[in-house]
Structure 1
Amino acid sequence: MERGSATLDSRPEQTGVLVVGAGAIANEHLRAIQAAGTATLAGIVDVDAGRASASAHANGGARWATDLAEALSWPEVDACIVCTPNHTHGAIGQQIAQAGKHMLVEKPLATTVQDATALVEAFANQHTVLMAAHTHRHYDYARAVKAAIDDGTIGRPVLARFAILGGWIWPDWRAWMIDPVKSGGHSLHNGVHLLDLVTWWFGEKPATVYVRGQKQTGATLGVYDYLEMVLRFENGATAICEMSRGHRPANIGHRDVLVAGTKGELALAWDGESSLVIDERGTGQVPPVSTNGFQAQLEAFLAAIMGEPSAMSAEEGRRAVAMGVAAERSIQTGLPVQLEEAA
């Protein structure tokens, strides 16, 4: 069997990974590939030749192209990591599926439930791995909460209060991330991190999403950069999630986790992984020494290619899209939205 076919039966010792899209987030994935013991960088693709060549040069003179079809024909390519704008994921994913390659795609899986469903079906038909890059699942704090719930320490979770608050992270006002047509809206682009995590933590089926959005940074902003999201599960449990990219000071990230269960409570303070520093330059943080989420995510993806259970199934990626779409619809209507309706 040719190396480029990359079905589960081929099981290459080294997985050749093609990075599609050479923007800022691609750098995180490229560093993870360089550090991985069972992955090699097969090449880089970007529609901008200057960006593709610069990224390839910065990564050891890797092969590069501006045409995805050309790159997918390279025999060294077993899998792809897609780092392109959200609205392109559906079409790019279909092309990768038809080429018989595995795909790790930056969340969300797609910007519509229809496109997400089509991707799930396309990769299932090819018997290749499809995994959405919900990187927060692979950070230490998220794993710690999941483990504490799964081992029964607090009993059955009935309520969660989860907040991730920070400042502006986008390059400028032209960024595609703040264009609701290209990103799908902030609920789908960033808020979905929280919706997915609490659903994963609880292990329950979500029923309704109710969201209020505010434009904190400016009235002309295309997306709501502050979100209050209430997710209710079919078993009656509730998660209250708060996501902001409009807080000040912008360089301080604030995260709080509180989960109440039938036997107790779990609390993770916002400064649990880092230290606050105040000096003549202002306020800052000393980064924590913890697991690299992108590295752990890549290792999980490679393991899935080798036949291990996926750390995030394709169906979970589709469900996350449904929650994000429902959240955006709730902002517009001012009403709770049923997940079945969104799906």
Structure 2
Amino acid sequence: MIGIGIIGAGHFGAVHARAIAATQGLRVAAICREDAAAARVFAHEHGGHAHTDWRAVLDDSAVDAVVIATPHHLHAEMAVAAAQAGKHVLLEKPMAPTLAECDAINAAVAKAGVKLMVGHVMHFARPCLVAREILDGGTLGRPMLGSSWMIKLWMEANRRPWHLSNVTGGGMLMTAGIHALDRLVWLMGSEVATVSALSGTWFHQQEADDSALMLLRFADGRIGQVASVGYRDGAVGFAMDLVCEGGTLRIDFEHGVSIGRGGSWTPIAHSADPDWMQRAVEAEWRAMAAAIEANAPVPVDGTYARHLIACLDAAGRANAERREIALA
């Protein structure tokens, strides 16, 4: 039985705890939350030793691997320390706010010989997996142009002060819009070469962005766009279109996947899942367990996750300099 430590036993830590409980061969061995009373409540519900210092989780001999679900600016220190302690790491997205931090994490993991998977949950969500299967089948040809958007309420119940500051890796694009970016880059199947972007804060009083538009030029010449909008009031838009050589593929998290041909849309049966997030995190943990137990490759590694941060880094510079930026 693989013992899992949850560093960041809050809202999304509970999603991970439920997924761990649903995955054969895994158990919650330890949890960490700064609030001692809340940590005890979490441990009572989900199991494991309760700690208020994340370093105690790494010192816990019952812990074989950790999930890090903490504020973005804390990821690098915790992930590097976990690797140095010999713990496998499932690191919530984004990997880290800066490229230097991503490089430090990847170097520590490589030196320690532990597994690292970054929690880009789109790779495990049913609508995206159905779309991936259609693309791999070849009936639509290659996607030549993609448009992906994440439009949602920004000030939702679990929003915290660190989400609002650039210093702590906040902002809509880094926090939620990255899902739209990830989905596009993954399904287009090519690295990004250059980025143009417009970003700013139009709906809220905060330092970090609440809205951004990105234009991507892929290394093979294809193109894409990403919209990341955290509105004050509206309705959720979480979808994307891939315009392929032989038709259009639409991914909608409310209605599922549809294929556009001959001027009409044909829905794909059983391609939506009302509880897709929990199911995706469970699939994420099954993949992590296979990586630990059978040395299987992780579906989302540190190299890929760093590439997404490079896209966001380029977007920030593109907005500031008002020009297209090549990725670092």
**TM-score of the two chains, using structure 1 as the length reference:** 0.84
Aligned position for 2:246? 263
Preserved CA contact (<8 Å) 1:17 1:42: yes
Preserved CA contact (<8 Å) 1:195 1:231: no
Aligned position for 1:129? 115
Deviations 1:29-61 (A, max 9, x none): 11111111111000101233233222112324x
Aligned position for 2:299? 311
- C-alpha displacement at 1:92, in angstroms? 0.7
Cα gap change, 1:51/1:149 in structure 2, threshold over 3 Å: closer, same or farther? same
Cα gap change, 1:337/1:35 in structure 2, threshold over 3 Å: closer, same or farther? same
SS of 1:204 mapped into structure 2: coil
Q: 1:245 aligns with which of 219, 230, 237?
A: 230
Partners of 2:273 and 2:162 in 1: how far apart? 28
Q: 1:222 aligns with which of 186, 194, 207?
A: 207
Partners of 1:338 and 1:140 in 2: how far apart? 33
SS of 1:180 mapped into structure 2: coil
Look up the equivalent residue of 1:116 and give its one-letter code. Answer: C
Preserved CA contact (<8 Å) 1:155 1:263: yes
In the alignment, is residue 24 of structure 1 matched against residue 1 of structure 2?
no
Aligned position for 1:279? none
Look up the equivalent residue of 2:218 and give its one-letter code. Answer: F
Q: 2:41 aligns with which of 35, 44, 54?
A: 54
Deviations 1:265-301 (A, max 9, x none): 2123564149xxxxxxxxxxx9725571111111111
Q: 1:115 aligns with which of 101, 106, 112?
A: 101
Cα gap change, 1:148/1:125 in structure 2, threshold over 3 Å: closer, same or farther? same
Q: 1:157 aligns with which of 113, 136, 143?
A: 143
SS of 1:43 mapped into structure 2: strand
Aligned position for 2:74? 88
Q: 1:232 aligns with which of 208, 217, 224?
A: 217
Aligned position for 1:38? 25
Q: Which aligned pairs between 1:171-190 and structure 2 lie closer than 5 A?
A: 171=157, 175-190=161-176
Partners of 1:69 and 1:309 in 2: how far apart? 27
Partners of 1:21 and 1:172 in 2: how far apart? 13
In the alignment, is residue 301 of structure 1 matched against residue 288 of structure 2?
yes
Aligned position for 1:326? 314
Partners of 2:273 and 2:190 in 1: how far apart? 33
Cα gap change, 1:127/1:338 in structure 2, threshold over 3 Å: closer, same or farther? same
Preserved CA contact (<8 Å) 2:8 2:31: yes
- C-alpha displacement at 1:217, in angstroms? 2.2
Deviations 1:241-277 (A, max 9, x none): 112221633xx42223211122322123564149xxx
Preserved CA contact (<8 Å) 1:112 1:321: yes
- C-alpha displacement at 1:238, in angstroms? 0.8
Aligned position for 2:263? none
Look up the equivalent residue of 1:316 and give its one-letter code. Answer: Y
Partners of 1:289 and 1:195 in 2: how far apart? 22
- C-alpha displacement at 1:142, in angstroms? 1.4
Stretches of structure 2 that go unaligned for 5 or more consecutive residues are 258-271
Aligned position for 2:60? 74
Partners of 1:125 and 1:177 in 2: how far apart? 32
- C-alpha displacement at 1:210, in angstroms? 1.5
Preserved CA contact (<8 Å) 1:191 1:324: no
Stretches of structure 1 that go unaligned for 5 or more consecutive residues are 1-13, 275-285
Preserved CA contact (<8 Å) 1:187 1:328: no
Partners of 2:12 and 2:275 in 1: how far apart? 21
CA-atom RMSD in angstroms: 2.2
Cα gap change, 1:293/1:257 in structure 2, threshold over 3 Å: closer, same or farther? same
Aligned residues with identical type, % of pairs: 28
Partners of 2:160 and 2:86 in 1: how far apart? 35
Partners of 2:228 and 2:289 in 1: how far apart? 30
- C-alpha displacement at 1:115, in angstroms? 0.9
Cα gap change, 1:92/1:173 in structure 2, threshold over 3 Å: closer, same or farther? closer
Partners of 1:30 and 1:84 in 2: how far apart? 14
Partners of 2:206 and 2:158 in 1: how far apart? 11
Preserved CA contact (<8 Å) 1:149 1:202: no
- C-alpha displacement at 1:172, in angstroms? 7.4
SS of 2:197 mapped into structure 1: strand
Look up the equivalent residue of 2:174 and give its one-letter code. Answer: L
**TM-score of the two chains, using structure 2 as the length reference:** 0.88
